[in-house]
Structure 1
């Protein structure tokens, strides 16, 4: 079972959905978009209640996103069942390295199959451990995310220079499958998340007409 968030800011009255302070809730900016790829988030148990976690932003916007709690010894039955679906083409998203280079692949569209990207949702140290100790994932191909922009995530210090957070990785993977709209949805929603979280930390009003908010509102009106 995931443990409650007890770190700095744990006493703030938070929205039960986005986990931000109620005064800066971002739920009104949520979307339901049918992307050209699916996402399975394999989440470290320490991440579930962290308001700084960005995996939930993918769940907020991309229809069909699934979340599974990681276990080294007992793989999620729901995850294994999801991976057995013959209609999907699953990949683990992780940086390349020499000791598993034979598993690295480039993305190729497979007619009749939906690409599904499995993102290990945790700190870099946690994600590396999840990747190396999940023997039940060893048969899956690994794909390295392309990094086309500098990370905008400022709420935690990156362990590796140039490292992207979970939602930024998802946005890059949507670019890879030529889903620019989906990528922009995630990028703009993430920008709003960053802006509101920073406003809460600094106890200042949020910007009501940022470019990201204008973009999301315009898209909402089209739906």
Structure 2
């Protein structure tokens, strides 16, 4: 008998995240370009952004050159969160682009995938290269405790987006809900695997 799945968060009913979700408006539109391999990951974090942010658009694929919705988005002011060769700090972007512009009129484009797959999306979509790109300033270590990364500076998609939007809006109190949901999901996964497995696999 198939286990019950929550219609809203698409998680098994026993680990439903809906009680942690509070929807809100981000200070600018969010556009998530997600690699197809990330779409069905049980602990993927882009879905959390969809659940918590009203003005979020989620597009799955690798090449978006013929994607009508994305092409329309590119007609509006856009900035990409990606460490390209020409990427600048958020502060530099604000000085160069936002002096006479309303942040709400901009789209923040984020690539969701492993670093290798994110780079593939970047290179397959040269239309992104003409847009300003930003990198985050030094931030707190990731709390993604069930993911092995080279160092703690590697953030999950949900963490990176919240940090970026807070920096862009100059408001560190924004968007608590995505992080609350994210940490609840991590706690659930640790509980499911058991403390011994967690300690052996992720605390060494």
Q: Same fold (TM over 0.5)?
A: yes
The one of 18, 21, 39 aligned to 1:30? 21
Measured after TM superposition, the shift of residue 132 of structure 1 is 2.0
CA contact (8 A) 1:91 1:140 kept: yes
Q: Could you list the per-position Cα deviations for residues 93-126 of structure 1 after superposition, in whole angstroms to 9, with x for gaps in the alignment?
A: 0124xxx32x546331343342321110011111
Q: Could you list the per-position Cα deviations for residues 40-60 of structure 1 after superposition, in whole angstroms to 9, with x for gaps in the alignment?
A: 100001111111110111111
Q: Which residue of 1 aligns with 2:202?
A: none
Q: Which residue of 1 aligns with 2:83?
A: 95
Aligned residues: 186
Q: In the alignment, is residue 189 of structure 1 matched against residue 177 of structure 2?
A: no
- Note closer, same or farther for the CA distance 1:38–1:76 as it changes in structure 2 (3 Å cut): same
Between 178-187 and 132-141, the greater mean CA deviation after superposition:
178-187
Q: In the alignment, is residue 198 of structure 1 matched against residue 190 of structure 2?
A: yes
Q: In the alignment, is residue 120 of structure 1 matched against residue 117 of structure 2?
A: no
Q: Could you list the per-position Cα deviations for residues 115-141 of structure 1 after superposition, in whole angstroms to 9, with x for gaps in the alignment?
A: 321110011111111112211212111
Ranked by relative contact order (alpha carbons within 8 Å, sequence separation 6 or more), the top structure is 2
- 1:107 partner SS: helix
- 2:190 partner SS: helix
Measured after TM superposition, the shift of residue 163 of structure 1 is 0.7
Alpha-carbon distance in structure 2 between the residues aligned to 1:146 and 1:27 = 31
Structure 2 unaligned residues grouped into runs of 5+: 196-204
Q: Could you list the per-position Cα deviations for residues 171-191 of structure 1 after superposition, in whole angstroms to 9, with x for gaps in the alignment?
A: 111221223332433322221
- Note closer, same or farther for the CA distance 1:75–1:195 as it changes in structure 2 (3 Å cut): farther
What TM-score do you get using the length of structure 1 for normalisation? 0.73
Q: Which residue of 2 aligns with 1:145?
A: 136
Between 120-129 and 69-78, the greater mean CA deviation after superposition:
69-78
Alpha-carbon distance in structure 1 between the residues aligned to 2:170 and 2:67 = 30
What TM-score do you get using the length of structure 2 for normalisation? 0.79
Q: Could you list the per-position Cα deviations for residues 22-63 of structure 1 after superposition, in whole angstroms to 9, with x for gaps in the alignment?
A: 211111221111121221100001111111110111111111
Measured after TM superposition, the shift of residue 12 of structure 1 is 6.4
- 1:182 partner SS: coil
CA contact (8 A) 1:68 1:76 kept: no
Alpha-carbon distance in structure 2 between the residues aligned to 1:73 and 1:84 = 14
